[in-house]
């Protein structure tokens, strides 16, 4: 059982090519402009992996870049936005409007429950969210597609009467189908060689996403010593038994933020949004990105001054007074 | 004192937030309204985010609900499961006021934040529900931010993303949703509320210098304007706190 081995450290190129294949069902961690596994996203783009089936709740920047680079065929999603930098992710929006990708809409809570169901090994979980809405009425993936594909449940959502009549003041529930991605990629603050993970700040749905997946790649800011995370292990969220590969990548969430390490880079995100609006400029952006050998080369291009600008303040965990206009 | 409509919106919305509210906050102007309330008249209110941050010390305005600025000095940093459990909790849930926004709204306060046009070949695609539909489904009270435009206040939504009162007084119960729904809509012209009996939108108050006629001109459906009252402009103190404490870089304003 490879998940019990002592040393899972790999380089990013090898980890991505070992686990992320054309057409695989992938989920990525983080939320809008925070702790997206961007180094891994950029490596997927460099390796030109295609036809991904993406499961996300609200991963803004990572989703937009994967779609913009043409890596995605289908997406199950709750929200495609990057906060102030793109109220709706720009390449996501273009791709949906042009019919270049197929999309299925859920809510954030539903996507989180779907990952949790996958992690628990149950086929579905109930909620009351979205009763009476088009999220239930309209299916992005048709019944035919769903029936034809073994990797998809036959129904988007199922409404049923509460099987415990009157219990919990609830007459009806919505059942959300479990997700078991082929691969989940998350970026964490610290991990050890074996794959124990420690995140700081908000964990979003990273834990559920990781535990639901067949394979898990963890990129980390810092590789912790072999015994280090065994101390204060109450601060760890994911034990090694769920992890396949550990990849130390400083600034692995850049240009999104990593609480207590660095902030998001407003300059990068603004430039990106500008380029994303224009097909020619976006092609140039992608060409520059693909020409970088790895994440370190991308960071070298950004330069030390910009990285210094987004260094997190040790008290607050973000870059105080950063110019975010 | 001079002020912009955006400032008026933020202050008007802030006044809806009470000291014992647990405020669920989205991105943008809702964040500003909640920060303004906390700094002006509701210091004890709790602001929380769907990302899992409860009662952050918001010293700078977050630009997204996952901004590291929501993680500082919180009561607890969790994840999405904890945040959505908070608003469904049988005890704390009753105190939650949700703040939402959308591309379209109808007379029952149902919202569209998904597409303009046909869902299967949209003219315009928006971000989608995010946690919006979850909040609208669960919380007893919500406040909605809208720009007052004919194409946004529509007779028929292109897509119903987040439930308001659905098709009227009994809509939520029939659909199986908890009681509740939107209590007001704060726009760049006015404040709208929902009739206790019909659950239909009516004009509650106009901003200084705005006539009820003007409000109706900016909507594709007609609402009752007989209850409209003038709303007070922001005070010098409110403006000072909003500008200097909440958004000195004018990131939202």
Q: Within a 10 A sphere around the Cβ of A10, how many other Cβ atoms?
A: 18
Chain A residues within 8 A of B250 when measuring between CB atoms: 325
Please tell me if residue A175 touches chain B, with a CB cutoff of 8 Å: no
> Which whole number is the average pLDDT over B89-96?
94
> Which whole number is the average pLDDT over B41-54?
96
> Which whole number is the average pLDDT over B6-17?
96
| pLDDT tens, chain A, 325 aa long | 578 999 999 999 999 999 999 999 999 999 999 999 999 999 999 999 999 999 999 989 999 999 999 999 999 999 999 988 999 999 999 999 999 999 999 999 999 999 999 999 999 999 999 999 999 999 999 999 999 999 999 999 999 999 999 899 899 999 999 999 999 999 999 999 999 999 999 999 999 999 999 999 999 999 999 999 999 999 999 999 999 999 999 999 999 999 999 999 999 999 999 999 999 999 999 999 999 999 999 999 999 999 999 999 999 999 999 999 8
Smallest Cα–Cα separation from A86: which of A276, A309, A234? A276
Statement: residue B28 has pLDDT above 90: no
Q: Is A173 in a helix, a strand, or coil?
A: strand
Residues of B labelled catalytic: 50
DSSP secondary-structure letter at A229?
A: G
Please tell me if residue A27 touches chain B, with a CB cutoff of 8 Å: no
Please tell me if residue A325 touches chain B, with a CB cutoff of 8 Å: yes
Q: What is the pLDDT of residue B74?
A: 97
Q: Tell me the shortest Cα–Cα distance from A141 to chain B, in angstroms.
A: 10
User: Interface pTM (ipTM) of the complex?
Assistant: 0.97
Residue ranges of A 149-168 with Cβ closer than 8 A to chain B: 159
Give the C-alpha separation, B94 to B230, whole Å. Answer: 30
Mutual angle of helices A266-276 and A279-291, in 10-degree steps = 130
Cα atoms in the Cβ-side hemisphere of radius 13 Å centred on A111: 35
Q: Which residue of B has its CA nearest to A168?
A: B90
Q: Tell me the shortest Cα–Cα distance from B241 to chain A, in angstroms.
A: 18
A83–B27 C-beta distance less than 8 A: yes
For testing contact with chain A, the best of B25, B26, B80 (most A CBs within 10 A):
B80
Chain A residues within 8 A of B28 when measuring between CB atoms: 84, 87
Q: Tell me the shortest Cα–Cα distance from B128 to chain A, in angstroms.
A: 5
> Which whole number is the average pLDDT over B18-31?
93
Residue ranges of A 190-209 with Cβ closer than 8 A to chain B: 201-208
- In chain B, where are the structural domains located? 5-246
Residue ranges of A 232-251 with Cβ closer than 8 A to chain B: none
- In chain A, where are the structural domains located? 1-123+183-222+231-314, 124-177
Q: What is the pLDDT of residue B104?
A: 98
Among B129, B130, B171, beta carbon nearest to A132: B171
A97–B124 C-beta distance less than 8 A: yes
Compare B235 and B1 and report the one with higher pLDDT. Answer: B235
Q: What is the pLDDT of residue A166?
A: 86
Q: Within a 10 A sphere around the Cβ of A121, how many other Cβ atoms?
A: 10
> Quick one: chain B helix, strand, coil %, rounded to 5?
25, 20, 50
Please tell me if residue B28 touches chain A, with a CB cutoff of 8 Å: yes
Please tell me if residue B114 touches chain A, with a CB cutoff of 8 Å: yes
Please determine, looking at this structure, whether the domain spanning A124-177 carries the CATH number 3.40.50.720. Answer: no
Smallest Cα–Cα separation from B111: which of B149, B64, B146? B146
Q: Is A294 exposed, middle or buried (0-12, 13-18, 19+ CB in 10 A)?
A: middle
Q: Which residue of A has its CA nearest to B167?
A: A132
For testing contact with chain B, the best of A28, A88, A103, A107 (most B CBs within 10 A):
A107
The phi-psi region of residue B182 (left if phi > 0; otherwise alpha if psi is between -120 and 50; otherwise beta) is: beta
Phi, psi of B193 (to 5 degrees): -130, -175
**What does the DSSP assignment read for A17-51?**
HHH--TT-EEEE-SBTTBS--HHHHHHHHHTT--S
| Correct CATH for A1-123+183-222+231-314 of 3.30.450.20, 3.20.20.140, 3.40.1080.10, 3.10.580.10 | 3.40.1080.10
Chain B residues within 8 A of A261 when measuring between CB atoms: none
Give the C-alpha separation, A201 to A263, whole Å. Answer: 13
Smallest Cα–Cα separation from B64: which of B17, B160, B130? B130
For testing contact with chain B, the best of A134, A160, A198 (most B CBs within 10 A):
A134
Q: What is the pLDDT of residue B151?
A: 98
User: Are A82 and A61 contacting, i.e. CB atoms less than 8 angstroms apart?
Assistant: yes
Q: What is the pLDDT of residue A2?
A: 78
| Block residue for tokens 């779907």 | A114
CATH number of B5-246: 3.40.1080.10
DSSP secondary-structure letter at B231?
A: P
Q: What is the pLDDT of residue A1?
A: 53
């Amino acid at each position: 059982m490879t998940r019990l081995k002592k040393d899972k450290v790999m380089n990013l190129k090898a980890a991505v090519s070992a686990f992320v294949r054309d057409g695989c069902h992938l989920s990525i961690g983080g939320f809008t402009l925070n702790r997206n596994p961007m180094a891994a996203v950029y490596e997927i783009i460099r390796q030109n992996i295609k036809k991904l089936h993406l499961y996300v709740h609200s991963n803004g920047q990572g989703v937009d870049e994967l779609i913009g680079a043409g890596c995605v065929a289908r997406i199950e999603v709750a929200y495609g936005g990057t906060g102030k930098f793109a109220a709706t992710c720009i390449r996501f929006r273009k791709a949906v409007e042009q019919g270049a990708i197929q999309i299925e809409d859920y809510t954030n809570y539903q996507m989180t429950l779907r990952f949790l169901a996958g992690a628990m090994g149950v086929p579905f979980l109930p909620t009351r969210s979205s009763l009476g809405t088009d999220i239930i009425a309209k299916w992005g993936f048709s019944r035919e597609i769903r029936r034809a594909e073994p990797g998809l449940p036959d129904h988007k959502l199922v409404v049923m009467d509460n099987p415990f009549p009157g219990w919990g003041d609830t007459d009806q529930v919505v059942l959300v189908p479990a997700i078991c991605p082929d691969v989940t990629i998350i970026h964490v603050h610290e991990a050890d060689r074996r794959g124990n993970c420690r995140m700081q700040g908000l964990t979003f749905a990273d834990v559920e996403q990781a535990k639901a997946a067949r394979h898990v790649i963890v990129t980390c800011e810092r590789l912790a010593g072999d015994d280090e995370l065994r101390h204060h292990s109450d601060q760890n969220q994911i034990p090694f038994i769920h992890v396949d590969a550990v990849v130390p990548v400083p600034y692995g969430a850049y240009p999104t933020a990593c609480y207590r390490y660095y902030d998001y880079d407003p300059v990068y995100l603004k430039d990106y949004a500008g380029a994303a609006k224009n097909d020619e400029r976006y092609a140039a952006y992608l060409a520059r990105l693909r020409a970088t050998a790895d994440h370190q080369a991308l960071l070298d291009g950004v330069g030390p001054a910009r990285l210094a600008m987004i260094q997190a303040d040790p008290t607050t965990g973000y870059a105080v007074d950063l110019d975010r206009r | 004192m001079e002020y912009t409509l955006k400032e008026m919106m933020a202050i008007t919305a802030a006044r809806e937030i009470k000291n014992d509210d647990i405020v669920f906050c989205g991105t943008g102007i809702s964040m500003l309204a909640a920060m303004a309330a906390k700094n002006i008249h509701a210091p004890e209110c709790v602001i929380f985010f769907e990302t899992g941050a409860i009662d952050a010390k918001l010293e700078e305005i977050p630009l997204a609900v996952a901004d590291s600025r929501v993680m500082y000095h919180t009561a607890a940093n969790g994840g999405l499961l904890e945040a959505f459990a908070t608003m469904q909790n049988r005890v704390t849930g009753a105190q939650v006021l949700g703040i939402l926004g959308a591309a379209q709204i109808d007379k029952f306060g149902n919202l569209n934040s998904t597409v303009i046009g046909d869902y299967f070949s949209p003219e315009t695609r928006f971000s989608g529900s995010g946690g919006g539909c979850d909040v609208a489904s669960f919380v007893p009270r919500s406040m909605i931010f809208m720009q007052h435009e004919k194409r946004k206040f529509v007779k028929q939504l292109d897509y119903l993303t987040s439930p308001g009162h659905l098709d009227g007084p009994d809509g939520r119960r029939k659909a199986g949703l908890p009681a509740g729904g939107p209590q007001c809509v704060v726009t760049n012209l006015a404040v709208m509320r929902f009739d206790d009996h019909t659950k239909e939108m009516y004009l509650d108050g106009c901003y200084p210098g705005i006539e009820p006629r003007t409000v109706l001109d900016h909507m594709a459906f007609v609402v009752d304007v007989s209850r409209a009252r003038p709303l007070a402009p922001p005070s010098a103190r409110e403006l000072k706190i909003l500008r200097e404490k909440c958004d000195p870089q004018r990131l939202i304003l």
